Amino acid sequence: MSAPTVSIRSKFPGIGTNIFTAMNAVAQEHQAVNLAQGFPSFDCPPELLEYVTTAFRAGRNQYAPMPGLPELREGISEKVKFLYGRTYDPATEITITPGGHAALMSAAMAILHPGDEAIVFEPSFDCFAPIVKLCGATPVPIKLTFPEYSIPWGIVAERITPQTKLIWINTPHNPTGSILGPEDIRSLVRVVQGTNIVVLSDEVYEHITFDGHEHQSVCRTPELAERSFSIYSFGKVYHATGWKIGYCLAPSYLMQEFRKIHQMTTFTTNHPIQWGLSQYIKNRNHYLELAQFYQAKRDYFIAGLKGSRFDVLAAKGSYFQCLTYRRISEEPEMSFAKRLARDAKVAAIPVSAFYEDGTDNGVLRFCFAKSNEILDQATEALRKM
Protein backbone atom coordinates (compact mmCIF):
# COMPACT_ATOMS: atom_id res chain seq x y z
CA MET A 1 0.00 0.00 0.00
CA SER A 2 1.28 3.51 -0.81
CA ALA A 3 2.14 5.99 1.95
CA PRO A 4 -0.61 8.52 2.80
CA THR A 5 -0.38 11.69 0.70
CA VAL A 6 -2.04 13.81 3.34
CA SER A 7 -2.08 13.44 7.08
CA ILE A 8 -5.59 12.74 8.32
CA ARG A 9 -7.02 12.33 11.83
CA SER A 10 -9.00 9.12 12.04
CA LYS A 11 -12.48 9.39 13.57
CA PHE A 12 -12.07 5.83 14.86
CA PRO A 13 -8.38 5.10 15.38
CA GLY A 14 -9.27 2.06 17.52
CA ILE A 15 -11.67 0.41 15.07
CA GLY A 16 -10.42 -2.24 12.65
CA THR A 17 -12.28 -4.84 10.62
CA ASN A 18 -15.57 -5.60 12.35
CA ILE A 19 -16.22 -8.96 13.95
CA PHE A 20 -18.65 -10.10 11.21
CA THR A 21 -16.09 -9.57 8.46
CA ALA A 22 -13.39 -11.18 10.59
CA MET A 23 -15.46 -14.30 11.37
CA ASN A 24 -16.67 -14.60 7.78
CA ALA A 25 -13.04 -14.68 6.70
CA VAL A 26 -12.30 -17.39 9.30
CA ALA A 27 -15.37 -19.34 8.11
CA GLN A 28 -14.21 -19.13 4.50
CA GLU A 29 -10.66 -20.11 5.33
CA HIS A 30 -11.86 -23.31 7.03
CA GLN A 31 -14.90 -23.84 4.80
CA ALA A 32 -16.99 -23.81 7.96
CA VAL A 33 -20.79 -23.83 8.20
CA ASN A 34 -21.44 -20.16 8.73
CA LEU A 35 -23.75 -19.46 11.67
CA ALA A 36 -21.82 -16.26 12.35
CA GLN A 37 -23.63 -14.36 9.62
CA GLY A 38 -26.79 -12.67 10.87
CA PHE A 39 -28.90 -13.26 7.80
CA PRO A 40 -31.22 -15.95 6.48
CA SER A 41 -30.11 -18.70 4.13
CA PHE A 42 -33.55 -18.60 2.48
CA ASP A 43 -34.98 -16.10 -0.01
CA CYS A 44 -37.71 -13.49 0.31
CA PRO A 45 -41.32 -14.33 -0.66
CA PRO A 46 -41.72 -14.76 -4.48
CA GLU A 47 -44.80 -12.52 -4.50
CA LEU A 48 -42.73 -9.67 -3.07
CA LEU A 49 -40.08 -10.23 -5.74
CA GLU A 50 -42.83 -10.00 -8.36
CA TYR A 51 -44.01 -6.65 -7.03
CA VAL A 52 -40.49 -5.24 -6.92
CA THR A 53 -39.75 -6.47 -10.44
CA THR A 54 -42.98 -4.91 -11.67
CA ALA A 55 -41.93 -1.60 -10.13
CA PHE A 56 -38.55 -1.70 -11.91
CA ARG A 57 -40.24 -2.50 -15.24
CA ALA A 58 -42.93 0.13 -14.74
CA GLY A 59 -40.25 2.82 -14.67
CA ARG A 60 -40.31 3.60 -10.96
CA ASN A 61 -36.60 4.26 -11.23
CA GLN A 62 -36.23 7.90 -10.16
CA TYR A 63 -36.08 9.49 -6.72
CA ALA A 64 -38.89 8.73 -4.30
CA PRO A 65 -40.13 11.58 -2.06
CA MET A 66 -37.75 12.45 0.79
CA PRO A 67 -39.79 10.84 3.62
CA GLY A 68 -40.68 7.79 1.50
CA LEU A 69 -43.49 6.70 -0.83
CA PRO A 70 -46.86 7.78 0.61
CA GLU A 71 -48.36 4.33 -0.20
CA LEU A 72 -45.72 2.62 1.90
CA ARG A 73 -45.99 5.07 4.79
CA GLU A 74 -49.75 4.52 4.81
CA GLY A 75 -49.27 0.74 4.85
CA ILE A 76 -46.86 1.06 7.77
CA SER A 77 -49.25 3.30 9.66
CA GLU A 78 -52.02 0.69 9.32
CA LYS A 79 -49.69 -2.12 10.34
CA VAL A 80 -48.49 -0.29 13.46
CA LYS A 81 -52.05 0.59 14.47
CA PHE A 82 -53.05 -3.05 14.03
CA LEU A 83 -50.06 -4.39 15.98
CA TYR A 84 -49.47 -1.79 18.70
CA GLY A 85 -52.66 0.27 18.82
CA ARG A 86 -51.10 3.67 18.10
CA THR A 87 -51.68 5.82 15.04
CA TYR A 88 -48.62 7.39 13.45
CA ASP A 89 -49.43 10.05 10.86
CA PRO A 90 -47.89 8.96 7.53
CA ALA A 91 -47.38 12.61 6.58
CA THR A 92 -45.39 13.68 9.63
CA GLU A 93 -44.47 10.70 11.81
CA ILE A 94 -43.09 7.97 9.51
CA THR A 95 -39.91 8.09 7.41
CA ILE A 96 -38.51 5.35 5.14
CA THR A 97 -34.74 4.93 5.37
CA PRO A 98 -31.99 2.95 3.65
CA GLY A 99 -32.06 0.28 6.37
CA GLY A 100 -32.55 0.19 10.11
CA HIS A 101 -28.90 1.09 10.58
CA ALA A 102 -29.25 4.43 8.76
CA ALA A 103 -32.39 5.16 10.76
CA LEU A 104 -30.51 4.60 14.04
CA MET A 105 -27.82 6.98 12.85
CA SER A 106 -30.27 9.73 11.87
CA ALA A 107 -32.20 9.42 15.15
CA ALA A 108 -29.04 9.64 17.26
CA MET A 109 -27.72 12.56 15.21
CA ALA A 110 -31.02 14.39 15.58
CA ILE A 111 -30.75 14.34 19.36
CA LEU A 112 -27.14 14.18 20.49
CA HIS A 113 -24.77 17.14 20.74
CA PRO A 114 -21.16 17.27 21.93
CA GLY A 115 -21.11 16.93 25.71
CA ASP A 116 -24.33 14.89 25.87
CA GLU A 117 -24.46 11.36 27.27
CA ALA A 118 -26.33 8.35 25.88
CA ILE A 119 -26.99 5.20 27.86
CA VAL A 120 -26.28 2.04 25.86
CA PHE A 121 -26.54 -1.53 27.10
CA GLU A 122 -23.85 -4.13 26.59
CA PRO A 123 -23.46 -6.45 24.88
CA SER A 124 -24.92 -4.42 22.03
CA PHE A 125 -25.11 -4.44 18.25
CA ASP A 126 -21.74 -3.08 17.29
CA CYS A 127 -22.70 0.33 15.89
CA PHE A 128 -24.50 1.80 18.94
CA ALA A 129 -21.59 3.27 20.92
CA PRO A 130 -19.61 4.34 17.80
CA ILE A 131 -22.65 6.26 16.49
CA VAL A 132 -22.93 8.09 19.82
CA LYS A 133 -19.25 9.02 19.52
CA LEU A 134 -19.69 10.22 15.91
CA CYS A 135 -22.27 12.65 17.29
CA GLY A 136 -19.58 14.00 19.64
CA ALA A 137 -21.46 12.61 22.64
CA THR A 138 -20.36 10.10 25.27
CA PRO A 139 -21.74 6.56 25.43
CA VAL A 140 -22.46 5.41 28.98
CA PRO A 141 -22.32 1.62 28.78
CA ILE A 142 -24.33 -0.44 31.27
CA LYS A 143 -23.89 -4.20 31.27
CA LEU A 144 -26.93 -6.43 30.98
CA THR A 145 -27.03 -9.00 33.77
CA PHE A 146 -25.46 -12.36 32.96
CA PRO A 147 -26.73 -14.91 32.00
CA GLU A 148 -30.29 -13.48 31.67
CA TYR A 149 -29.10 -10.41 29.75
CA SER A 150 -31.70 -8.21 31.39
CA ILE A 151 -31.48 -4.49 32.16
CA PRO A 152 -30.39 -3.62 35.73
CA TRP A 153 -32.83 -0.72 36.18
CA GLY A 154 -31.41 0.31 39.57
CA ILE A 155 -28.05 0.97 37.92
CA VAL A 156 -29.69 2.84 35.05
CA ALA A 157 -31.34 5.23 37.51
CA GLU A 158 -27.96 5.82 39.19
CA ARG A 159 -26.17 6.58 35.91
CA ILE A 160 -28.54 9.30 34.75
CA THR A 161 -27.07 12.80 34.87
CA PRO A 162 -28.24 16.20 33.61
CA GLN A 163 -26.24 15.38 30.43
CA THR A 164 -28.20 12.18 29.68
CA LYS A 165 -30.18 12.85 26.49
CA LEU A 166 -30.79 9.37 25.15
CA ILE A 167 -31.47 5.82 26.33
CA TRP A 168 -30.85 3.31 23.55
CA ILE A 169 -32.73 0.03 23.86
CA ASN A 170 -32.99 -2.99 21.59
CA THR A 171 -35.72 -5.62 21.86
CA PRO A 172 -35.63 -8.44 20.75
CA HIS A 173 -31.94 -8.18 21.36
CA ASN A 174 -28.97 -8.78 19.11
CA PRO A 175 -26.69 -10.55 20.07
CA THR A 176 -28.32 -12.29 23.06
CA GLY A 177 -31.92 -13.07 22.05
CA SER A 178 -33.27 -11.53 25.26
CA ILE A 179 -36.41 -9.39 25.18
CA LEU A 180 -37.87 -6.63 27.31
CA GLY A 181 -40.99 -7.57 29.26
CA PRO A 182 -43.87 -5.41 30.54
CA GLU A 183 -42.02 -4.83 33.84
CA ASP A 184 -39.01 -3.43 31.91
CA ILE A 185 -41.31 -1.05 30.08
CA ARG A 186 -42.73 0.15 33.42
CA SER A 187 -39.18 0.66 34.72
CA LEU A 188 -38.23 2.62 31.61
CA VAL A 189 -41.27 4.87 32.03
CA ARG A 190 -40.28 5.53 35.67
CA VAL A 191 -36.67 6.33 34.70
CA VAL A 192 -37.51 8.84 31.94
CA GLN A 193 -40.58 10.49 33.47
CA GLY A 194 -40.01 14.18 34.16
CA THR A 195 -36.69 14.22 32.25
CA ASN A 196 -35.72 15.41 28.76
CA ILE A 197 -34.43 11.97 27.85
CA VAL A 198 -35.40 10.58 24.45
CA VAL A 199 -35.69 6.81 23.92
CA LEU A 200 -34.16 5.24 20.82
CA SER A 201 -35.76 1.84 20.43
CA ASP A 202 -34.24 -0.62 17.98
CA GLU A 203 -37.07 -3.02 17.18
CA VAL A 204 -35.78 -4.55 13.95
CA TYR A 205 -36.65 -8.07 15.23
CA GLU A 206 -40.18 -6.98 16.29
CA HIS A 207 -41.92 -10.04 14.83
CA ILE A 208 -39.54 -12.62 16.20
CA THR A 209 -40.57 -13.38 19.80
CA PHE A 210 -41.02 -16.87 21.20
CA ASP A 211 -43.01 -18.94 23.69
CA GLY A 212 -46.02 -16.63 23.60
CA HIS A 213 -44.08 -13.49 24.65
CA GLU A 214 -45.45 -10.34 23.02
CA HIS A 215 -43.06 -7.82 21.53
CA GLN A 216 -42.99 -4.79 23.84
CA SER A 217 -42.81 -1.98 21.34
CA VAL A 218 -42.43 1.50 22.82
CA CYS A 219 -45.35 2.39 20.53
CA ARG A 220 -47.73 0.51 22.85
CA THR A 221 -47.08 2.79 25.82
CA PRO A 222 -48.13 6.44 25.37
CA GLU A 223 -45.64 7.75 27.97
CA LEU A 224 -42.82 6.22 25.90
CA ALA A 225 -44.19 6.70 22.38
CA GLU A 226 -44.37 10.46 23.05
CA ARG A 227 -40.58 10.61 23.52
CA SER A 228 -39.31 7.75 21.34
CA PHE A 229 -37.86 7.00 17.97
CA SER A 230 -38.59 3.38 17.06
CA ILE A 231 -36.66 1.71 14.28
CA TYR A 232 -37.57 -1.20 11.96
CA SER A 233 -36.02 -3.13 9.09
CA PHE A 234 -37.82 -4.78 6.17
CA GLY A 235 -34.67 -6.87 5.68
CA LYS A 236 -35.45 -8.85 8.84
CA VAL A 237 -39.16 -9.21 8.13
CA TYR A 238 -38.95 -10.37 4.52
CA HIS A 239 -35.64 -12.31 4.46
CA ALA A 240 -34.14 -9.54 2.33
CA THR A 241 -31.29 -8.08 4.39
CA GLY A 242 -29.43 -7.15 1.19
CA TRP A 243 -32.09 -4.60 0.26
CA LYS A 244 -31.20 -2.34 3.21
CA ILE A 245 -34.54 -0.71 3.71
CA GLY A 246 -36.22 0.23 6.97
CA TYR A 247 -38.14 3.00 8.67
CA CYS A 248 -38.46 5.19 11.70
CA LEU A 249 -41.55 6.13 13.70
CA ALA A 250 -41.62 9.13 16.02
CA PRO A 251 -44.00 11.89 17.16
CA SER A 252 -43.90 14.81 14.75
CA TYR A 253 -41.71 17.13 16.90
CA LEU A 254 -38.98 14.44 16.92
CA MET A 255 -39.57 13.35 13.33
CA GLN A 256 -39.10 16.92 12.14
CA GLU A 257 -35.51 16.85 13.43
CA PHE A 258 -34.97 13.28 12.18
CA ARG A 259 -35.97 14.30 8.65
CA LYS A 260 -33.49 17.18 8.64
CA ILE A 261 -30.68 14.68 9.19
CA HIS A 262 -32.13 12.13 6.77
CA GLN A 263 -32.50 14.83 4.11
CA MET A 264 -28.90 16.00 4.47
CA THR A 265 -27.31 12.56 4.64
CA THR A 266 -29.18 10.14 2.38
CA PHE A 267 -32.17 12.28 1.26
CA THR A 268 -34.28 9.41 -0.05
CA THR A 269 -34.58 5.63 -0.27
CA ASN A 270 -34.73 3.09 -3.11
CA HIS A 271 -37.96 3.78 -4.99
CA PRO A 272 -38.88 0.46 -6.74
CA ILE A 273 -38.33 -1.55 -3.57
CA GLN A 274 -40.52 0.86 -1.62
CA TRP A 275 -43.27 0.37 -4.14
CA GLY A 276 -42.98 -3.43 -3.99
CA LEU A 277 -43.16 -3.32 -0.22
CA SER A 278 -46.15 -0.96 -0.29
CA GLN A 279 -48.10 -3.70 -2.10
CA TYR A 280 -46.83 -6.68 -0.15
CA ILE A 281 -47.19 -5.12 3.31
CA LYS A 282 -50.97 -5.47 2.92
CA ASN A 283 -50.51 -9.23 3.36
CA ARG A 284 -50.33 -9.70 7.12
CA ASN A 285 -49.74 -13.44 7.03
CA HIS A 286 -46.04 -13.31 6.32
CA TYR A 287 -45.10 -11.26 9.36
CA LEU A 288 -47.69 -12.87 11.61
CA GLU A 289 -46.20 -16.29 10.87
CA LEU A 290 -42.62 -15.22 11.46
CA ALA A 291 -42.50 -15.90 15.23
CA GLN A 292 -43.72 -19.47 14.76
CA PHE A 293 -41.36 -20.00 11.83
CA TYR A 294 -38.29 -18.90 13.78
CA GLN A 295 -39.37 -20.59 17.01
CA ALA A 296 -39.39 -23.88 15.10
CA LYS A 297 -35.87 -23.07 13.83
CA ARG A 298 -34.65 -22.26 17.35
CA ASP A 299 -36.16 -25.48 18.73
CA TYR A 300 -34.68 -27.51 15.87
CA PHE A 301 -31.24 -26.09 16.55
CA ILE A 302 -31.50 -26.72 20.30
CA ALA A 303 -32.81 -30.29 19.75
CA GLY A 304 -29.81 -30.94 17.51
CA LEU A 305 -27.48 -29.92 20.35
CA LYS A 306 -28.84 -32.58 22.71
CA GLY A 307 -25.93 -34.64 24.00
CA SER A 308 -23.40 -31.88 23.27
CA ARG A 309 -21.32 -30.15 25.96
CA PHE A 310 -22.61 -26.71 25.02
CA ASP A 311 -25.11 -25.09 27.38
CA VAL A 312 -28.04 -23.22 25.92
CA LEU A 313 -28.85 -19.72 27.22
CA ALA A 314 -32.46 -18.50 27.05
CA ALA A 315 -33.37 -17.06 23.63
CA LYS A 316 -36.78 -15.39 23.76
CA GLY A 317 -36.54 -13.51 20.47
CA SER A 318 -34.46 -12.54 17.38
CA TYR A 319 -32.77 -15.24 15.30
CA PHE A 320 -29.75 -15.71 17.53
CA GLN A 321 -29.03 -18.43 20.04
CA CYS A 322 -26.20 -17.99 22.55
CA LEU A 323 -24.33 -21.04 23.84
CA THR A 324 -21.76 -21.30 26.61
CA TYR A 325 -18.87 -23.72 26.23
CA ARG A 326 -17.40 -23.69 29.74
CA ARG A 327 -17.86 -27.48 30.04
CA ILE A 328 -15.58 -27.84 27.00
CA SER A 329 -12.92 -25.20 27.56
CA GLU A 330 -11.73 -22.25 29.63
CA GLU A 331 -10.34 -20.55 26.51
CA PRO A 332 -11.27 -16.93 25.72
CA GLU A 333 -14.18 -16.60 23.28
CA MET A 334 -12.18 -15.42 20.29
CA SER A 335 -9.69 -18.24 20.48
CA PHE A 336 -12.44 -20.83 21.05
CA ALA A 337 -14.46 -19.41 18.11
CA LYS A 338 -11.45 -19.74 15.84
CA ARG A 339 -10.79 -23.29 17.05
CA LEU A 340 -14.46 -24.16 16.50
CA ALA A 341 -14.24 -22.91 12.90
CA ARG A 342 -11.04 -24.87 12.32
CA ASP A 343 -11.85 -28.15 14.11
CA ALA A 344 -15.65 -28.43 13.98
CA LYS A 345 -16.03 -26.31 10.84
CA VAL A 346 -18.74 -24.18 12.43
CA ALA A 347 -18.42 -20.39 12.59
CA ALA A 348 -20.05 -18.32 15.35
CA ILE A 349 -19.51 -14.86 16.86
CA PRO A 350 -17.81 -14.32 20.23
CA VAL A 351 -20.17 -12.20 22.35
CA SER A 352 -17.13 -10.42 23.88
CA ALA A 353 -16.95 -8.50 20.57
CA PHE A 354 -20.15 -6.70 21.58
CA TYR A 355 -18.66 -5.22 24.78
CA GLU A 356 -16.38 -2.21 24.72
CA ASP A 357 -14.17 -3.80 27.41
CA GLY A 358 -14.31 -7.26 25.83
CA THR A 359 -16.17 -8.91 28.74
CA ASP A 360 -15.70 -12.62 28.22
CA ASN A 361 -18.26 -15.00 29.73
CA GLY A 362 -17.45 -17.93 27.44
CA VAL A 363 -20.44 -17.31 25.15
CA LEU A 364 -20.82 -17.60 21.38
CA ARG A 365 -23.70 -16.31 19.25
CA PHE A 366 -25.13 -18.63 16.59
CA CYS A 367 -27.57 -17.48 13.90
CA PHE A 368 -30.29 -20.09 13.34
CA ALA A 369 -31.97 -18.34 10.37
CA LYS A 370 -30.72 -21.18 8.20
CA SER A 371 -32.13 -24.20 6.39
CA ASN A 372 -32.54 -27.38 8.47
CA GLU A 373 -29.80 -28.99 6.37
CA ILE A 374 -27.34 -26.29 7.41
CA LEU A 375 -28.47 -26.54 11.05
CA ASP A 376 -28.05 -30.37 10.91
CA GLN A 377 -24.53 -30.01 9.59
CA ALA A 378 -23.68 -27.53 12.36
CA THR A 379 -25.20 -29.44 15.29
CA GLU A 380 -23.68 -32.74 14.21
CA ALA A 381 -20.25 -31.10 14.40
CA LEU A 382 -20.99 -29.23 17.64
CA ARG A 383 -22.03 -32.49 19.34
CA LYS A 384 -18.51 -33.82 18.76
CA MET A 385 -16.78 -30.95 20.61
- The residues of the shown chain that bind ligand PMP, judged by CB under 6 A, are 38, 99-101, 125, 170, 174, 202, 204, 233, 235, 241, 244, 246
Residue type, 171: T
**Beta carbon of residue 245, minimum distance to ligand PMP (angstroms, whole number):** 7
Comparison of 106 and 279: residue with beta carbon closer to ligand PMP: 106
Structural contact between residues 199 and 229, judged by C-beta atoms closer than 8 angstroms:
yes
Comparison of 271 and 379: residue with beta carbon closer to ligand PMP: 271
Comparison of 98 and 362: residue with beta carbon closer to ligand PMP: 98
**Beta carbon of residue 29, minimum distance to ligand PMP (angstroms, whole number):** 23
Structural contact between residues 310 and 385, judged by C-beta atoms closer than 8 angstroms:
yes
Comparison of 68 and 246: residue with beta carbon closer to ligand PMP: 246
| Residue of closest CB approach to ligand PMP | 99
In sequence order, which residues have a C-beta less than 8 Å from that of residue 101 and are 6 or more positions away? 127, 244, 246
Distances (CA, A) of 303 to 51, 198, 296, 306, 312: 37, 41, 10, 5, 11
Strands, E assignment, the chain: 33-34, 94-97, 117-122, 138-143, 164-170, 198-202, 228-233, 246-249, 311-312, 320-324, 346-347, 349-350, 363-367
Comparison of 20 and 56: residue with beta carbon closer to ligand PMP: 20
Comparison of 174 and 352: residue with beta carbon closer to ligand PMP: 174
**What H or E segment, with its residue span, contains residue 110?**
helix 100-111
**Beta carbon of residue 25, minimum distance to ligand PMP (angstroms, whole number):** 18
**Beta carbon of residue 272, minimum distance to ligand PMP (angstroms, whole number):** 17
Structural contact between residues 157 and 187, judged by C-beta atoms closer than 8 angstroms:
no
* Number of neighbouring beta carbons within 10 Å of residue 210: 20
**Beta carbon of residue 128, minimum distance to ligand PMP (angstroms, whole number):** 9
Comparison of 100 and 362: residue with beta carbon closer to ligand PMP: 100
Structural contact between residues 298 and 193, judged by C-beta atoms closer than 8 angstroms:
no
**Beta carbon of residue 235, minimum distance to ligand PMP (angstroms, whole number):** 4
**Beta carbon of residue 124, minimum distance to ligand PMP (angstroms, whole number):** 8
